[in-house]
Amino acid sequence: MIDLKYLREFPDVVRASQVARGEDPGLVDRLLEADEKRRAAIQSADTLRAEQKAFGKKIGQAAPEDRPALLEGSNELKAKVKEAEEAQKSAEATVNELQYAIANVIAGAPAGGEEDFEVLEHVGSPREFDFEVKDHLELGESLGIIDVARGAEVGGARFYYLVGDGAWLQLGMLMLAAQKAREAGFTVMIPPVLVRPEIMAGTGFLDAHDEEIYYLERDDLYLVGTSEVALAGYHRDEIIDLSEGPKLYAGWSSCFRREAGSYGKDTRGILRVHQFDKLEMFVYCQPEEAEEMHQKLLGLEREMLAAVEVPYRIIDVAAGDLGSSAARKFDTEAWVPSQGTYRELTSTSNCTTFQARRLGTRFRDADGKAQTAATLNGTLATTRWLVAILENGQREDGSVVVPEALRPWVGKDVLVPKRGKK
């Protein structure tokens, strides 16, 4: 939720942000106008309440014969107060609705849409193969570690089983991520995967992504698409202590996405699925610390990608491709040999005070005054990493070299095809 004080002081900045995102800058003027009406309504209601209070004292001090007339006037004033309070309530609802409609103000993100990102860095070089590469599904099936056929029979399209070494690859990857998070000072958590509507709305996921979310109408609950949602709600309506530094959490959970609008896109294998596991970092900090924390999260993602031995690039996501909560987002994209291109593995977003304002999460500054906290998030490992690990580690005979960092969990240096599988 945008800060009204900031909006009043820097309306042109917010308009420019809306334009960069490809969204309506006219919302800014509508909100400014609604805010003026709200403040006028509050003043009118306050004035009438003060009159009503003073009139009540006058009645108490009046002579008995004068009270009937005064009481009649009091009833008229009471009706005016009620009317003014209704007007105030309506004006506040309009402001709230418009506040929710305006996305976070971008902070350094390039303008444009999905294809207008800026490449910041390439890390590692794509491997040159002297044989015809297999994609991750062909490799996974021949190794006996991915079963999408039975996944589809049980859950439908875009579901799968990770079997044997495939399960250990994922568990090892997530355990390594959890260890790295703990060493970096994060508290590891296993959060709920079902959340209430106000928590989902508070994180910004109901603004433009509601079609992506599974909703359980009978229980009025949402399945999370990332543990960011539950972690953002952890300190809802609290004043947290940030005097000794940011609060760092890392949530390990299953995640669920409907993938609405992606029919026919990435249907093969496990790149775009309805259910996956993920370790998500989440930070609460003072606003002036947010940029530094954003780089810290990106640095931890770099460490994990180096550990799983895949070449990747870092991109600065364009404003029009940001979620409504993010002021800036960096994606890391791994090289996928079978596709001859880079595909997203992780992202890290600086949400500034946008989420915490909606969720009422504050801290006390050096003067003891309550201020809105900043929040950030970043993915440290997730299921789709297996795509890049398998394809970049493949050998001509169909075997796959296990990254050294994952071998303690997998228990093998090399995965070899099962007999009878090609």
- Does 274 appear as a known binding residue? yes
**Closest to 406 in 3D by CA, of 170, 162, 172:** 172
Four-residue CA torsion sign, 52, 54, 60, 64: negative
- Does 38 appear as a known binding residue? no
What per-residue confidence (pLDDT) applies to 73? 59
Q: Dig out the tokens for 399 from the structure.
A: 């075997």
- Kindly name the residue from 17, 324, 347, 349 that is annotated as catalytic: 347
What per-residue confidence (pLDDT) applies to 206? 84
**Closest to 392 in 3D by CA, of 353, 354, 339:** 339
DSSP 194-263: EE-HHHHHHHTHHHH-GGGS-EETTTTEEE-SSTHHHHHTTTTT-EE--TTS-EEEEEEEEEE---TT-T
218 is an active site residue? no
CA distances from 375 to 195, 281, 388 (A): 18, 11, 29
The Cα angle at residue 371 between residues 365 and 377, in degrees rounded to 5 = 105
Contact of 107 with 352, CB cutoff 8 Å: yes
- Does 345 appear as a known binding residue? yes
Q: Dig out the tokens for 29 from the structure.
A: 């003027």
- Does 163 appear as a known binding residue? no
Residue 13 — φ and ψ, nearest 5°?
-65, -40
- Cα–Cα distance for residue pair 263/261, rounded to 1 Å: 6
364 bridge partner residues? 370
- Kindly name the residue from 21, 38, 158, 257 that is annotated as catalytic: 257
What per-residue confidence (pLDDT) applies to 59? 61
- Does 65 appear as a known binding residue? no
The position carrying tokens 């970049």 is 392
- Does 186 appear as a known binding residue? no
275-285 and 247-256: which strand pairing? antiparallel
What per-residue confidence (pLDDT) applies to 261? 61
Q: What is the pTM of this model?
A: 0.91
- Kindly name the residue from 253, 338, 384, 391 that is annotated as catalytic: 384
Strand order in the sheet with 239-240: 239-240, 362-364, 370-372
Measured N-to-C along each axis, helices 67-101 and 26-61 cross at an angle, to the nearest 10 degrees, of 160
- Does 328 appear as a known binding residue? no
- Kindly name the residue from 30, 344, 364, 407 that is annotated as catalytic: 344
The answer for residues whose C-beta is within 8 angstroms of residue 172's C-beta and 6 or more apart is: 406, 408, 409, 410
- Cα–Cα distance for residue pair 76/86, rounded to 1 Å: 16
44 is an active site residue? no
Rounded to an integer, what is the distance from CA 331 to the centroid of its chain?
13
Kindly list the averaged pLDDT for each block of 10 residues, start to end, along the chain of length 422. 93 95 94 94 88 67 61 70 89 93 94 94 95 97 97 95 98 98 98 96 81 94 96 98 97 92 74 96 98 98 96 97 95 96 96 96 96 98 97 97 98 90 54
User: What percent of the chain is helix, strand and coil (3-state, nearest 5)?
Assistant: 45, 20, 35
272 is an active site residue? yes
Contact of 341 with 263, CB cutoff 8 Å: no
- Does 276 appear as a known binding residue? yes
What per-residue confidence (pLDDT) applies to 95? 94
